[in-house]
């Protein structure tokens, strides 16, 4: 068989004007033009575009030509008188092939195979062109794959860089948060320091007990909060402020405003209790214990500064 499966071959549009073809038709009749192209088609699909000079080849071609012994005279009507009409179909085809080789030089032979130089040249060119195109496509495919691979690598690199940037940003935010917390801690330490480090703090900050408890149970101190705690101690006394801070913390309060509300409400309850005791006889009702504000539902009270 041929190198590749072939579906077509080039055919000159003026092949019938070739002097060699014309001579063939004069010798064997116009029907020989059809025989010629049948031979070319067989060669085009054969290995190396050649057919063996064997009897079985001539028999197969005679079958393709539809030549039978009784039809030779009819089919060769008008042919050259040198064509023997008493030949068998395969002998006639053998004669035709050798005339194409020796007389008309349309075919060539090495005494073992015969072929068409023109067809071989065309088919080799076609095969070479197709191979070249195939190689170009292969290389283009490799280049395309390489481009996709590089694009993927670049995308991966970009994603890695973006991830690195995001990680750095998160790191910076974390460091900034830590810095802010440390600054707040330093500020708090500046407002109220440990009594062991500051022996004179009790004199400098007479309400330190309230400050310490507020920091421990409510939250960070500030100069404003310190002043408001000082005011509370001055108005309600230290014990009342301590009770209010503990009560606020126990009920979820987290602001100085909450403490102020609690201490005020505690005082109000004390006044009401005192007024109630004056109006009632001690024998009719047992006096209630002093309230610390724990019986108040502080969750319903507003949390404000």
Domain assignment of residue 170, yes or no? no
- The separation between CA 225 and the C-alpha centre of its own chain, rounded to angstroms, equals 56
The answer, yes or no, to whether residue 93 has pLDDT greater than 70, is yes
Q: Give the pLDDT score at 130.
A: 82
Beta pairing, strands 108-109 & 50-52? unpaired
Domain assignment of residue 6, yes or no? no
What's the full length of the chain, in residues? 305
Look at residues 80, 115, 150 and tell me which one is the last residue of a structural domain.
Answer: 115
Instruction: Put the strands of the sheet holding 113-115 in their side by side order.
Output: 50-52, 113-115, 108-109
The pLDDT of 125-140, averaged and rounded, is 86
Domain assignment of residue 85, yes or no? yes
Cβ atoms of 67 and 92 within 8 Å: the answer is yes
pLDDT in tens, 210-222: 999 999 999 888 8
Q: Give the pLDDT score at 79.
A: 55
d(CA 263, CA 248): 9
The answer, yes or no, to whether residue 172 has pLDDT greater than 70, is yes
The answer, yes or no, to whether residue 201 has pLDDT greater than 80, is no
Look at residues 65, 85, 115 and tell me which one is the last residue of a structural domain.
Answer: 115
Report the number of distinct structural domains present in the chain. 2
The answer, yes or no, to whether residue 297 has pLDDT greater than 70, is no
d(CA 267, CA 232): 12
Among 31-35, 51-55, 73-77, 172-176, the range scoring the smallest mean pLDDT is: 73-77
* CB neighbour burial string for 170-205, b if at least 16 within 10 angstroms, e if fewer: eeeeeeeeeeeeeeeeeebeeebeeeeeeeebeeeb
> Both tokens of residue 42?
């067989």
> Both tokens of residue 296?
């108040």
Domain assignment of residue 164, yes or no? no
- The separation between CA 44 and the C-alpha centre of its own chain, rounded to angstroms, equals 49
Domain assignment of residue 176, yes or no? no
d(CA 251, CA 258): 10
Q: Give the pLDDT score at 244.
A: 92
> Both tokens of residue 29?
């009749």
User: Which range in 198-202, 223-227, 287-291 is most confidently predicted, on average pLDDT?
Assistant: 223-227
Look at residues 93, 115, 137 and tell me which one is the last residue of a structural domain.
Answer: 115
The pLDDT of 8-14, averaged and rounded, is 66
Q: Give the pLDDT score at 6.
A: 55
Read off the pLDDT band of 117 (50, 70, 90): very high
Domain assignment of residue 133, yes or no? no
pLDDT in tens, 141-163: 898 888 888 888 888 777 777 78
Q: Kindly state the percentage of the chain with pLDDT values over 90.
A: 42
Domain assignment of residue 190, yes or no? no
The pLDDT of 293-303, averaged and rounded, is 51
The residue range of the domain holding 99 is: 15-115
Q: Give the pLDDT score at 7.
A: 61
Domain assignment of residue 139, yes or no? no
The answer, yes or no, to whether residue 173 has pLDDT greater than 90, is no
The pLDDT of 11-40, averaged and rounded, is 89
Q: Give the pLDDT score at 11.
A: 66
The answer, yes or no, to whether residue 77 has pLDDT greater than 60, is no
Read off the pLDDT band of 175 (50, 70, 90): confident
pLDDT: which is higher, 304 or 10: 10
Mean pLDDT of the chain: 80
Q: Where are the alpha helices (DSSP H) in 192-282?
A: 201-204, 208-217, 223-236, 238-250, 256-279
pLDDT: which is higher, 142 or 190: 142
What does each C-alpha distance from 285 to 276, 277, 288 come to in angstroms? 11, 9, 9
pLDDT: which is higher, 54 or 253: 54
pLDDT in tens, 43-73: 999 999 999 999 999 999 999 998 877 666 5
């Amino acid at each position: 068989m041929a190198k590749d499966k072939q579906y077509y071959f080039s055919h000159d549009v003026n092949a019938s004007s070739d002097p060699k073809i014309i001579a063939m038709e004069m010798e064997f009749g116009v029907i020989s033009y059809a025989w010629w192209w049948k031979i070319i088609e067989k060669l085009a699909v054969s290995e190396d575009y050649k057919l063996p000079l064997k009897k079985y080849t001539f028999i197969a071609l005679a079958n393709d030509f539809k030549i039978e012994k009784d039809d030779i005279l009819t089919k060769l009507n008008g042919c050259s008188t040198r064509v023997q009409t008493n030949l068998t179909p395969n002998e006639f085809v053998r004669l035709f092939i050798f005339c194409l080789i020796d007389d008309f030089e349309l075919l060539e032979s090495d005494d073992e195979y015969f072929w068409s130089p023109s067809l071989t040249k065309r088919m080799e060119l076609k095969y070479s062109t197709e191979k070249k195109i195939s190689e170009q496509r292969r290389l283009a495919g490799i280049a395309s794959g390489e481009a996709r691979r590089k694009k993927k690598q670049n995308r991966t690199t970009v994603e890695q860089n973006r991830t690195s940037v995001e990680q750095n940003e998160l790191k910076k935010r974390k460091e900034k948060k830590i810095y802010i917390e440390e600054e707040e801690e330093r500020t708090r330490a500046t407002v109220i320091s440990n009594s062991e480090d500051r022996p004179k703090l009790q004199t400098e900050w007479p309400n330190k007990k309230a400050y310490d408890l507020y920091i421990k149970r409510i939250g960070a101190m500030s100069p404003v909060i310190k002043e408001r705690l000082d005011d509370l101690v001055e108005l309600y006394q230290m014990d009342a402020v301590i009770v209010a801070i503990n009560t606020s913390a126990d009920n979820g309060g987290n602001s100085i405003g909450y403490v102020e509300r609690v201490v005020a409400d505690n005082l109000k309850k004390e006044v009401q209790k005192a007024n109630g005791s004056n109006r009632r006889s001690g024998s009719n009702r047992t006096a209630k214990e002093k309230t610390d504000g724990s019986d108040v539902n502080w969750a319903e009270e507003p949390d404000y500064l």
